[in-house]
Amino acid sequence: MKINLNGRLVDEKRATISVFDHGLLYGDGIFEGIRAYNGRVFLLEEHIERLYDSARAIALEMPLKPADMARQVVRTCKANGVCDGYIRLVVTRGVGTLGLNPYLCKHPQYFIIAGAIRLYPKELYEKGMSVVTVGTIRNHTEAVNPRIKSLNYLNNVLAKIEAINAGVMECILLNPQGYVAEASGDNIFAVRKGRLITPPSWCGALEGITRNAVMKLAVEMGYPVEERVMTRYDMYVADEVFLTGTAAEIIAVTNVDRRRIGSGRPGPITRRLGKRFAEFVRAQGTPIE
């Protein structure tokens, strides 16, 4: 595999960064997870826009202009022969001192990995998955704002540990006020009487690229979509619940905190959205050429 390290394509064994990089020392950096389908990078412009929004939010001077960064993503996919796969684009503050001062990091670094991924087993997409609510609270929006896709993912990691210890692969995080925020790595939707609801970003949800695409597709298919505060009760009594994410795509949740959701199988709206999304991604994106 070839890794794009600051614009140089190097063998993965030679793709190294300094131990003094603030991305490693302090999680001081940002990233995007991006998918490629059918020889196209899916919604690349949207991912690049969110990346640069994250950079502005943490006062990180980007090493490239957005269009040039997008070209490096495509270049990395082409170098690795990726037509259907996953791309991880990471930007760090760069090499600095052992102190916190980010302004001593003079040269931000970036690297791009393009390869394969499968987040969940195929059977979970067919039968649905179980999740639990965990005790780890989503970061307060005025601490590390979840809208910033930062390298500081310890909040998510701690939640994932709780999920695995409970015998499931995913979990639901509540915000400091006790409202539903999101899963450890995905956004969440509940369906009630044909209407989709999902937590707004100010409740601690990342504004997911897949989330936004699914909301748009749902409206086009005639399903009302509402961003509003969600409680655990809203999940428990929903007709359907599903998660969305770049790696996860759309996956049904059929059990929340040992409460069966709907029939206990992926619901009809989730299935229709999944089918429509699969059609959508095959025709969208920036060509890899």
Active-site annotation, residues: 149
Longest Cα–Cα distance in the chain: 57
- What does the alpha-carbon distance between residue 281 and residue 40 come to, in Å, rounded to a whole number? 9
Terminal Cα distance for the chain, rounded: 18
CA neighbor of 59 nearest in space, from 93, 90, 23? 93
**Other CB atoms within 10 A of residue 16 CB:** 10
Whole-angstrom CA distances from 61 to 18, 71, 74, 109 are 19, 19, 22, 10
Whole-angstrom CA distances from 155 to 27, 186, 204 are 12, 13, 12
CA neighbor of 67 nearest in space, from 80, 86, 51, 84? 51
